[in-house]
Chain A
Amino acid sequence: METTETPIEFSEIEFAEDVQNFISGSSDVVFNTQDLKKKIFDSNCDDLLKVTKKIASPIKIIDVQKVDEKFIKENI
């Protein structure tokens, strides 16, 4: 019997470099839109990014937001 896994969606705040390394080291990552990939790789390595992913096979990156003081002010 075939089973289908429900993808788990979660977000996490990390340094851009950690996200870049994760993507570079994994062949199993796709992007909702290509500009998300550009946004990640255009970020300075010590910028903080909030990355929302769907954990399935492949891992799908569905949103990327830069976590700067403006973002924090609006979201706390």
Chain B
Amino acid sequence: MPPSVNYPQRLILDPKFVVWLKNECPNNSCVISQLLKINQSSKYHKKEHIIMCEEDYEQIVKEDVIKDKDILKGCIYSMSFREFGLSDEVIELIGKKDIFTKRILLGILLTDEPPYKSIILTNEKIEDYSEKPIFDKIKDLSVKGWEESITIISNFYRIFFHEKELSDKAKKLDLEFKAVEDIASWATFQPEIAKKDGIEYHRKIGSNIIYKFNGEDFVCLDCGSEILAAKVAHPIHDGPFPLSGSGKCHYEEAPYCPKCEEKPSFHGSPITTK
């Protein structure tokens, strides 16, 4: 099964990067193949993980940078500012900005949704972006030149490949996971359980990281690490007004593999009592 991967950043490509990739990158077909797989396997933005400003996309189509437009479309999603639900006035204002500012604005808008971080991959001068006053204000957006960009793409592909191996491992075990019913929607850990040959396996719904019960503890099926529990606080909204509460929290112990997964955030979803 191709994995569904939670990549750490959204990627924005600019036309000069694509032109460099096509004409100068020595292993361009390998990198493009990696971009295709990354874009197709994104957990939250399937086929829309790698972005280009609509205006930039139209330019590289017009200039016929990549002959086969389906390859281009498979790697890169052409995104319009209209998709963010902005008002006509704001769209008009953005339309008057220079293209570097537009790309930065696109990157900023992308940080509003998972994975809340974005990177512009470029072959322009980094200063063309970093010297824009708006750029300084956003810590979750960065710009990388072609050398670092290739490393980023390669690292993303490593994540894809690792997740694929995990997925294949689970497939070989032929585990049939079933979601546990009656788990509150606010819970950080939404478990699925499978049993085979008397052994119990748990995982987060849809995750490739599987916890195996070894009789005493849960261990990671992939790396063998002992599964740890992170404390997650869920604020209880029991006050008279929406989003208000007495300050009480419900604490959940959310499991995670310390090697293969990020520690769950302490700040959990709120619990609404009404």
What is A's interface to B at a CB cutoff of 8 Å?
A: 11-15, 17-18, 45-46, 48, 50, 67-70, 72-73, 75-76
Among B2, B22, B67, B74, the residue within 8 A (CB) of A46 is B2
Among A46, A50, A73, the residue within 8 A (CB) of B29 is A73
Given contacts A46-B2, A46-B164, A67-B36, contact A75 B73 (CB under 8 A): no
Q: B66 in the interface, Cβ–Cβ < 8 Å? A: yes
A11 to B68, CA, bound (A): 11
B74 touches A48 (CB 8 A): yes
B67 touches A75 (CB 8 A): yes
Smallest Cβ-Cβ distance to A52: which chain B residue: B70
Given contacts A68-B33, A69-B33, A72-B29, contact A13 B73 (CB under 8 A): yes
- Number of inter-chain CB pairs below 8 Å: 59
A19 to chain B, nearest CB (A): 11
A68 to B32, CA, bound (A): 10
Q: B173 in the interface, Cβ–Cβ < 8 Å? A: no
Chain A residues with CB below 8 A from B29, complex form: 69-70, 72-73, 76
A14 to B1, CA, bound (A): 13
A73 to B28, CA, bound (A): 8
Chain B residues with CB below 8 A from A15, complex form: 2, 40-41
Q: B30 in the interface, Cβ–Cβ < 8 Å? A: yes
Q: B37 in the interface, Cβ–Cβ < 8 Å? A: yes
Query: Which of the four size classes fits the interface of chain B?
Result: 20 to 34
Pull 12 A–B residue pairs with CB atoms less than 8 Å apart, ordered by A. Answer: A13-B36, A13-B71, A14-B74, A15-B2, A17-B1, A45-B1, A46-B2, A46-B3, A46-B37, A67-B71, A67-B74, A70-B29
Since A15-B40, A48-B36, A76-B67 are in contact, a sample of 7 more A-B pairs with Cβ atoms closer than 8 Å, ordered by chain A residue number, is A12-B73, A13-B70, A67-B71, A68-B33, A72-B29, A72-B71, A76-B68
What is B's interface to A at a CB cutoff of 8 Å?
A: 1-3, 22, 28-30, 32-33, 36-37, 40-41, 66-68, 70-71, 73-74, 164
State the main secondary structure of chain A at its contact with B: mixed
Chain A residues with CB below 8 A from B36, complex form: 13, 48, 67
B69 to chain A, nearest CB (A): 9
Chain A residues with CB below 8 A from B28, complex form: 72-73, 76
A24 to chain B, nearest CB (A): 14
Among A48, A68, A73, A76, the residue within 8 A (CB) of B66 is A76
Smallest Cβ-Cβ distance to A11: which chain B residue: B70
Chain A residues with CB below 8 A from B164, complex form: 46
B30 to chain A, nearest CB (A): 6
